[in-house]
């Protein structure tokens, strides 16, 4: 068989062909920059780590499916240390980087400062954790919340305490933060309005390793139940030290304690602790642990809702002509149902996610798991 001779071209023709090939090759689309803003250092750093885990997992899966509108998702991490005085510099940096949206901030205080600054820069903001009802009530076009509002949680826990502990002694304690105190105060108000006055009301300083003075006060007050407004670290320590002191009062808290740090600090004392969480609405919804398993996440609810925040953007992108912040925001506020790993999610006109009503759940450990599953543990609603 005759072998075909290799074609040879002059060097100048080869250079021209290479240039034409470069022109013909489509330019790579610019990536979509997504900010993750929260406490990446400081006392609340474990929650910042969960935010990063959730968003990075979502970005990996979205990019494997072709990205957002064909554009690769890149993550930009910003540390505000959950400090309102840091928000201005953090938002300036993210705005200067040209982000399309930010997943964050972590606290209601930092979120309230950041949201209007992002709005002025035409940037979407989805907070997976901020719970102050005033945040979305006073928020702008760009703000969306994937967390339970304090007033919704307080109704459930306050009503439970007033009903189950009528005529008994209930203490209300908070961590002095805007979140913890706000949630504790709202729960206290519901309880008081239903006829049960608190036997003790107190605040603690977060970040301590020993809350012996508080435990002694609780014992002296002979409390039957404690409501704690705060985060997982302090909740776990207080509960463990209560049990070590022989104080068997019922421990009730909010969704801020849904984190591996709670069981790490509480140990065996975590068993039976009560806290508020969203109730599944229908057969499409998944219990917390099942949702974490479906996403491959190892963190707690903060990781999960950070993951869902980015997934919400992916789902919305399929229903707008182009990846444009105002168009995505308008679609989200339309009440459209978005299918996610936790089940369907929709937002109301204020930007609050319709996560269903809230219930009070008892935490039960499961063999081989470092986290706690809520399935089948509903105590009140």
SS3 string, the chain, reads CCCCCCCCCCHHHHHHHHHHHHHHCCCCCCCEEEEEEECCCCCCHHHHHHHHHHHHHHHHHHHHCCCECCECEEEEEEECCCCHHHHHHHHHHHHHHCCCEEEECCCHHHHHHHHHHHHHCCCEEEECCCCCHHHHHCCCCCEEECCCCHHHHHHHHHHHHHHHCCCCCEEEEECCCHHHHHHHHHHHHHHHHCCCCCCEEEECCCCCCCCHHHHHHHHHCCCCEEEEECCHHHHHHHHHHHHHCCCCCEEEECHHHCCHHHHHHHHHHHCCCEEEEECCCCCCCCCHHHHHHHHCCCCCHHHHHHHHHHHHHHHHHCCCCCCCHHHHHHHHCCCCCEEECCEEECECCCCEECCCCEEEEECEECCCCCCEECCCCEEEC
155 and 142 within one domain: no
Statement: residue 210 has pLDDT above 50: yes
Q: What pLDDT, on a 0 to 100 scale, did the predictor assign at position 15?
A: 44
The reply to whether 230 and 89 lie within a common domain is: no
Tell whether 256 and 376 lie within a shared domain: yes
**297 and 258, same domain (yes or no):** no
Question: What is the value of pTM for the model shown?
Answer: 0.81
Considering the domain architecture, whether residues 196 and 64 belong to the same structural domain is answered as no
Range from 32-41, 69-78, 333-342, 358-367 carrying the lowest mean pLDDT = 358-367
The answer to whether residue 6 scores a pLDDT higher than 50 is no
Whether residue 94 lies inside any domain: the answer is yes
pLDDT tens readout for residues 110-129? 999 999 999 999 999 999 99
Q: What is the CATH number of the domain that holds 182?
A: 3.40.50.2300
For residue 1, pLDDT over 50 is answered with no
If one counts the domains in the chain, the total is 2
Is 175 a member of any domain?
Answer: yes
* Confidence at residue 280, expressed as pLDDT on a 0 to 100 scale: 64
Residue 126 shares a structural domain with residue 216: no
Residues 289, 144 share a domain: yes
Do residues 165 and 310 both lie within one domain?
no
Domain span at 176:
151-281+358-380
Task: List pLDDT tens digits, range 236-245.
Answer: 999 999 999 9
Whether 18 is in a domain gets the answer no
pLDDT band at 372 (very low <50, low <70, confident <90, very high): low
Same domain, 294 and 275: no
Q: Looking at the structure, do residues 277 and 312 belong to the same domain, yes or no?
A: no
Q: Are 273 and 318 within one domain?
A: no
């Amino acid at each position: 068989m005759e072998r075909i001779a290799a074609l040879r071209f002059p060097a100048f023709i080869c250079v021209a062909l290479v240039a034409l090939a470069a022109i013909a090759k489509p330019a790579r689309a610019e990536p979509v920059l997504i900010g993750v803003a929260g406490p990446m250092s400081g006392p609340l750093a474990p929650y910042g780590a969960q935010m990063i885990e959730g968003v990075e997992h979502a970005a990996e899966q979205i990019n494997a499916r072709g990205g957002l509108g064909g554009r690769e998702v890149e993550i930009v991490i910003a540390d505000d240390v959950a400090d309102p005085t840091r928000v201005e510099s953090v938002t300036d940096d993210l705005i200067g980087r040209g982000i399309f949206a930010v997943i964050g901030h972590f606290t209601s205080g930092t979120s309230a400062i950041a949201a209007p600054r992002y709005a002025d820069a035409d940037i979407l903001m989805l907070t997976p954790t901020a719970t102050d009802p005033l945040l979305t009530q006073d928020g702008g076009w760009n703000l969306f919340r994937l967390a339970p509002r304090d007033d919704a949680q307080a109704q459930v826990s306050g009503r439970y305490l007033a009903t189950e502990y009528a005529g008994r002694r209930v203490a209300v304690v908070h961590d002095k933060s805007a979140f913890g105190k706000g949630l504790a105060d709202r729960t206290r108000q519901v309880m008081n309005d239903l006829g049960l006055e608190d036997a003790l009301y107190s605040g603690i300083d977060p970040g301590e390793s020993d809350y012996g003075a508080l435990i002694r006060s609780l014992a002296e007050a002979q409390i039957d139940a404690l409501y704690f407004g705060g985060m997982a670290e302090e909740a776990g320590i207080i509960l463990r030290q209560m049990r070590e002191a022989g104080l068997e009062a019922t421990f009730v808290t909010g969704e801020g304690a849904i984190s591996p740090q709670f069981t790490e600090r509480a140990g065996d004392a975590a068993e039976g602790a009560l806290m508020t969480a969203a109730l599944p609405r229908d057969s499409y919804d998944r219990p917390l642990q099942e949702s974490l398993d479906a996403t491959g996440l190892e963190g707690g609810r903060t990781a999960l809702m950070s993951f869902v925040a980015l997934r919400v953007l992916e789902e919305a992108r399929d229903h707008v002509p182009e990846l444009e912040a105002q168009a995505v925001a308008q679609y989200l506020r339309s009440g459209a149902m978005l299918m996610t790993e936790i089940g369907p999610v929709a937002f109301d006109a204020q930007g609050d996610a319709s996560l269903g009503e809230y219930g009070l759940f008892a935490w039960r450990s499961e063999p081989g798991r470092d986290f706690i599953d809520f399935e089948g543990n509903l105590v009140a609603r």
